[in-house]
């Protein structure tokens, strides 16, 4: 068993974005990623035309986590027949 020591922002970002953020981004010796409002980009870039670069990283993590949850639940979106 190994431990990763992280800065407190990891807890809040993980909770706000509902995905476990990578611990290497929040290591004690690292500069933290930008803190974004959990509502940032909620309406896409239509709000004011600005979408922070880190938001794309968060969305990718959320997509991967959702796919893993769906697979674990036995929900597949394959071709015809659906699998399973």
Q: Is the pLDDT of residue 14 over 60?
A: yes
pTM (2 d.p.): 0.69
Best CA proximity match to 35, nearest among 45, 23, 46, 26 = 26
Cα–Cα distance measured from residue 68 to residue 66, given in angstroms and rounded to the nearest whole number? 5
pLDDT score, position 74: 84
Mean pLDDT for the stretch of residues 66-80: 77
What does the CA dihedral 39, 44, 49, 54 come to, rounded to 10 degrees? 60
pLDDT score, position 65: 92
Rounded to the nearest 10 degrees, what angle do helices 53-72 and 9-17 cross at? Answer: 60
pLDDT score, position 21: 94
pLDDT in tens, 19-67: 999 999 999 999 999 888 777 666 655 556 677 888 889 999 999 999 9
């Amino acid at each position: 068993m190994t431990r990763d020591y992280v800065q407190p922002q990891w807890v809040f970002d993980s909770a706000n974005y509902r995905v476990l953020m990578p611990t290497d981004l929040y290591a004690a010796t690292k500069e933290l990623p930008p803190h974004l409002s959990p509502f940032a980009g909620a309406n896409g870039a239509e709000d004011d035309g600005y979408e922070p670069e880190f938001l794309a990283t968060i969305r990718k993590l959320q997509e991967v986590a959702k796919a893993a949850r769906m697979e674990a639940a036995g929900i597949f979106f394959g071709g015809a027949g659906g699998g399973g």
